[in-house]
Structure 1
Amino acid sequence: MDNSVFDKARKWICYNARPIDRARFRYLFENGSREAVLAALIEYQNDDGGFGHALEADSFNPFSSPIQTWAATEILHEICLEENHPITRGILRYLESGKDFNGKCWLNTVPSNNDYPHASWWMYDNQSYDTITYNPTAALAGFALSFAGKGSNIYKKCYDIVKEAIVYLKEADQCDEMHILACYVRMTQYCRKAGLADELSIDEVEKILQQKVNKILTWNRDTWSDSYVCKPSHFFMDKECFLYHSFGELADYECNFIKNKQNTDGTWSINWQWEEYLEQWHIAENWWKAHLIIMNLRFLQGLSEEARVKVSETGKE
Structure 2
Amino acid sequence: MELQPEEFEVIRRWMYRNSRPLDLARWRFHFEKGQIQPVLEALSVYQNADGGFGHALEADAWNPNSTPVMTNTAVERLLELDFADAGHPLVQGILKYLDSGADQNGHTWSFNVASNNEYPHAPWWHTSSESTASSPYNPTAILAGFILKFAARDSALFERGSGIVQKLAESFLQNPGLEMHPLRCVGTLLECIAEAELQEQFPYPALLEAFTARSVQLVKRDAGNWTSYSCRPSFFIRSPLSPGHEELALLLQQELDYLLAARNSAGIWDLTWSWTDYVREFAISENWWKAHIVIENLLLLREFGRITAE
* TM class, shorter-length: over 0.9
| Structure 2 unpaired stretches of 5+ | none
Q: How much does 1:140 deviate?
A: 0.8
Q: Which residue of 2 aligns with 1:185?
A: 187
Distance of 2:129 and 2:305 partners within structure 1: 46
Q: Tell me whether 1:140 sits opposite 2:143 in the alignment.
A: yes
| 1:69-98, Cα deviation, whole Å (9 max, x unpaired) | 111111101111101211000001100100
Which aligned pairs between 1:218-297 and structure 2 lie closer than 5 A? 218-225=220-227, 227-297=228-298
Q: Which residue of 1 aligns with 2:119?
A: 116
Q: Tell me whether 1:40 sits opposite 2:42 in the alignment.
A: yes
Which aligned pairs between 1:1-317 and structure 2 lie closer than 5 A? 1-2=2-3, 3-84=5-86, 85-125=88-128, 133-172=136-175, 175-225=177-227, 227-304=228-305, 310-311=309-310
Q: Which residue of 2 aligns with 1:314?
A: none
Distance of 2:123 and 2:210 partners within structure 1: 31
| 1:209-264, Cα deviation, whole Å (9 max, x unpaired) | 11111221111211112x10101221232112222222211211111111111122
- With the length of structure 2 as denominator, give the TM-score of the two structures: 0.94
Contact 2:22/2:42 (<8 A) preserved: yes
Contact 1:5/1:262 (<8 A) preserved: no
Q: How much does 1:126 deviate?
A: 10
Distance of 1:309 and 1:189 partners within structure 2: 30
Distance of 1:280 and 1:22 partners within structure 2: 20
Contact 2:138/2:181 (<8 A) preserved: yes
Distance of 1:309 and 1:106 partners within structure 2: 43
Contact 2:233/2:255 (<8 A) preserved: yes
Distance of 1:23 and 1:309 partners within structure 2: 23
Q: Which amino acid aligns with 1:119?
A: A
Contact 1:216/1:230 (<8 A) preserved: yes
Return 150-159 or 236-245, whichever deviates more.
236-245
Alpha-carbon distance change, 5 to 112 in structure 1, aligned in 2, over 3 angstroms:
same
Alpha-carbon distance change, 309 to 291 in structure 1, aligned in 2, over 3 angstroms:
farther
What's the % identity of the aligned pairs? 37
Q: Which amino acid aligns with 1:264?
A: S
- With the length of structure 1 as denominator, give the TM-score of the two structures: 0.92
Q: Which amino acid aligns with 1:181?
A: L
Equivalent residue of 1:44, what SS? Answer: coil
Alpha-carbon distance change, 4 to 206 in structure 1, aligned in 2, over 3 angstroms:
farther
Contact 1:53/1:63 (<8 A) preserved: yes
Distance of 1:266 and 1:126 partners within structure 2: 34
| Structure 1 unpaired stretches of 5+ | 312-317
Contact 2:144/2:162 (<8 A) preserved: yes
Q: How much does 1:4 deviate?
A: 3.5
Contact 1:210/1:246 (<8 A) preserved: no
Equivalent residue of 1:198, what SS? Answer: helix
Q: How many residues align?
A: 305
Contact 2:220/2:230 (<8 A) preserved: yes
